[in-house]
Amino acid sequence: MPFEPINGTHLIYHVDGHAVADPLGKDWQQLPFAPKDRDGFHRAGQDLAAFLHPKDGIFFPRTDNKPEIRQLDRITLRNYLDSKGYPAPVNQFLNLMLSSRVGENGDNVSAWTALYVLSTLMAPAYTMPGGNALISEILRARCLKARADSVMTGFTVVNVQNRPDGKVWVSGILADGSVQTIEARCAVMAVPKMFSKHAVQGLLQARRETYAGFRYNAYLVAQVELSKRLAPAFETASGQHFSRFIIAADWLKGNRDPKGSGHLTVYTPFPGIEGRGGLYGANAKELASRIIADLRELVPGSPGAIERVSLNRWGHPMMSCAPGMDALADAGKQSYGNIAFAHSDSFGICGLYSAVWTGMEAESEARLLLEYPAPPP
């Protein structure tokens, strides 16, 4: 995969009318706070950088972490921050950045998960021109090259069931509205458990208590098309605006339009059931108007350059990772009859690496099921 480093200004923190680059690193003294609060940002940056240590730090697999690091999964980030005694502005910033990755602050998120995510702020950053969709395109091309009829698109799965004869039936609706059922020896559900538990017959009844612990946070995702490139950094974060996080995909050379147009993706998390309900019930034009108003301040030069705003009311379904999430995720991803499970919520933290990891695990599980079919549940 053609990863590209994010060079230049990676993060700008917009606070109290000031735009500060790298607030945990080289520009912490530029923050509009009292000296003791600025010192707290510097200390937090050093603490997070220590978690990047290959032996003493925080990393996967979790079992290879030192005992004192594994213990962080027994408390929340809020507990951890209380023990560190950081100033309030530091805690506000760390909770803000955590919400960009999991959709909520650290009140109920495992300190291990939160600190793993936050430590990446201190590491070199890479991403892919074209985004995660590029992976799907490459995988599809490889599958079709191996076998021309190996990929079906425009097929909406509505029911998956283990059959008494050991086979699996996958039923869905084709693009023309007709219904089709596919018979297989094994199936992999590479989708969130919130879908799998309803699509797989009998699964919710068998694991109701387990899946009750799987909570997801919704995002409003807005794609903003511009007549020119304007972003001052790859990511702009603000806890004081509705437009919480602004990502400039065209910061990467591989994403730039040769004609000079620009593109921003704006994220606003709506955590929990209440947040999701509020997002679904909101007026689209009002949401877009709030984003456009924020961009006037957060991205200078945006008035007159905005050509289109497209809203997605679900965006990334980010899993809420409470302390002890590992055990819950392990229970939720166990095969059910001859159906295996992938998706990053089998891992806990949602992300590209966790999707790849669980995909490899599901492949191994599927191979075993093909060789040693399970009896119907």
Q: Are strands 339-341 and 187-189 parallel, antiparallel or unpaired?
A: parallel
Q: Please say if the pLDDT value at position 315 is more than 70.
A: no
**pLDDT tens profile 186-225:** 999 999 999 999 999 999 999 999 999 999 999 999 999 9
Question: 132-146 b/e with 16+ CB inside 10 Å = b?
Answer: eeeeeeeeeeeeeee
Contact by Cβ (8 Å): 73, 110: yes
Average pLDDT over residues 340-346: 94
Residue 354's closest CA among 122, 141, 111, 190? Answer: 190
**pLDDT tens profile 108-122:** 999 999 999 999 999
CA dist., res. 45 & res. 43, Å (int): 5
Q: Are strands 235-237 and 11-15 parallel, antiparallel or unpaired?
A: parallel
Q: What is the CATH number of domain 216-318?
A: 3.90.660.10
Could you tell me which residue, 276 or 88, shows the higher pLDDT? 88
Average confidence score pLDDT of the chain: 94
CA dist., res. 241 & res. 290, Å (int): 9
In sequence order, what are the beta bridge partners of 160?
Answer: 170, 200
Q: Which two tokens stand for residue 373?
A: 């079919």
One fold for 146-212+341-371 and 216-318: no
**How would residue 318 be classed by pLDDT, with cut points 50, 70 and 90?**
confident
Burial class (CB in 10 A: 0-12, 13-18, 19+), 2: exposed
Hey, what CATH topology would domain 146-212+341-371 get?
A: FAD/NAD(P)-binding domain (3.50.50)
The 3-class secondary structure across the chain, one letter per residue, is CCCEECCCCCEEEEECCEEEECCCCCCHHHCCCCHHHHHHHHHHHHHHHHCCCCCCCCCCCHHHCCHHHHHHHHCEHHHHHHHHCCCHHHHHHHHHHHHHHHCCCCCCCEHHHHHHHHHHHHCCCEECCCCCHHHHHHHHHHHHHHCCCCCCCCEEEEEEEECCCCCEEEEEEECCCCEEEEEECCEEECCCHHHHHHHECCHHHHCHHHHCCCCEEEEEEEEEEECCCCCCCCEEECCCCCCCEEECHHHCHHHCCCCCCEEEEEEEEECHHHHHHHHHHCCHHHHHHHHHHHHHHHCCCCCCCEEEEEEECCCCCEECCCCCHHHHHHHHCCCECCEEECCHHHCCCCCHHHHHHHHHHHHHHHHHHHHCCCCCC
pLDDT value at position 116?
95
pTM of the model: 0.92
pLDDT value at position 127?
86
pLDDT value at position 314?
72
**How would residue 349 be classed by pLDDT, with cut points 50, 70 and 90?**
confident
Percent of the chain with pLDDT over 90: 80
How do the domains of the chain map onto residue ranges?
A: 25-126, 146-212+341-371, 216-318
The CATH class of the 25-126 domain is: mainly alpha
Contact by Cβ (8 Å): 207, 197: yes
